[in-house]
A and B are shown apart, each in its own frame.
Chain A
Amino acid sequence: MRLLLMGLAMSSLGIAGCGPDIRAICEAEKTCEGGNDLDVEACVATEGVDADYADDIGCGDEYDAFIACIEPYLKCNEDASGGSCTTSSECGGGRCSGGSCVYAYYGVDSDDTDVCEAEVNALGRCK
């Protein structure tokens, strides 16, 4: 099943073996935010069906373009906008730094939120 989904995800990206590696993205998210192998499997499975769906509704190319565009911008970021704290145990999965809870998240940096706007719009129009 996993291989099937991966295969579908990769083929939906057009260039099997050369397109975005969904598993690598899921692994990177685990490394950034914490998690285990089942989290990675769940991530891969979900993304596989997402890609399938895009294909089914005729938006596979737009989806592929979006993923290809966004992938280089994905990185491990920290959000320091959490509440005040004295120890990390008060931060529910985050860490306490400088009196505030800091949480790691894997995604696009807040300075890069406009990247891939064209791809996002194209995908939005397609759907």
Chain B
Amino acid sequence: MIRHVLTGASVFLGFAVASFGCSSAQSVCQLICECQHCSDRTEEFTCAELEAQQASAEAYECGEKWEALLTCVEEKGTCNEKEADFTTRESGSCSDTQDIGGSCSTNADCQQGGGFPGNVTCSAGVCKVSVCTGSSSPCTSNDDCMGQGDDLCENEAEALENCIDAASGGAAPHF
């Protein structure tokens, strides 16, 4: 609860914290910003958001869970350089297919209209497009599925959420 009023306004306006020395939050925000080519102001804001979350977690006496999450992010996070996106998700696999409608007898029948992102093929008389496992994002290779696999820090994030939920008497903020 309770973060709604001012923090809601703060987030809306793009505000959060400041500098706290060399904290794990700062290390992580630097990692994120190196990957995502943040401007100085964006980096300040990214660090500030993390510091605000840290302050909140510590207030709920969940600082250890927060540190575990940040350590995980630091150790397991990767940079998708193509997308300039820092993620803790594993690379997905371009191995599922999805019907896109239209009957066909050959792959060429599915290419009409062209430009459909992803590998389009004719399978069992139906046009299908290759998609990333677990999502409906069209793809041509595993590279297109980066950041769409399992979240490697899901357990740590869940542990933090559970800790805060248990400590809070209301609807605690979820990070």
Contact = CB atoms under 8 A, between A and B. Distances in A.
A50 B45 CA distance: 10
A127 B13 contact: yes
Contacts of B19: 56
B56 A35 contact: no
B156 to A, nearest CB: 19
Task: Describe A's contact surface by its main secondary structure.
Answer: helix
Interface of A: 5, 22, 25-26, 29-30, 33-50, 52-57, 59, 63, 66-67, 70, 74, 93, 105-107, 120, 123-124, 127
B170 interface: yes
A29 B169 contact: no
B170 A35 contact: yes
Interface residues of B, number: 36
Contacts of A53: 15-18, 44-45, 48
Contacts of B51: 49
A33 B171 contact: yes
B55 interface: yes
Nearest to A20: B6
Interface in B52-83: 52, 55-56, 58-61
Given A29-B5, A42-B59, A107-B5, A54 B170 contact: no
B2 A127 contact: no
B165 to A, nearest CB: 11
Contacts of B52: 46, 49-50
Contact of B13 (A29, A52, A107, A124): A124
Nearest to A55: B18
What 8 pairs across the A-B complex have the smallest Cβ distances? A36-B169, A49-B17, A35-B170, A52-B18, A42-B59, A43-B2, A45-B55, A41-B59
B2 A56 contact: no
Interface in B134-172: 167-172
B4 A105 contact: yes
B103 interface: no
Contacts of B17: 49-50, 52-53
Contacts of B7: 43, 46-47, 50
Given A42-B60, A42-B172, A50-B7, A33 B18 contact: no
Contacts of B170: 30, 33-36, 39, 93
8 contacts: A25-B6, A26-B2, A36-B168, A49-B17, A49-B55, A52-B17, A66-B9, A106-B5
A53 B29 CA distance: 15
B62 to A, nearest CB: 9
B111 interface: no
Nearest to A35: B170
Nearest to A47: B6
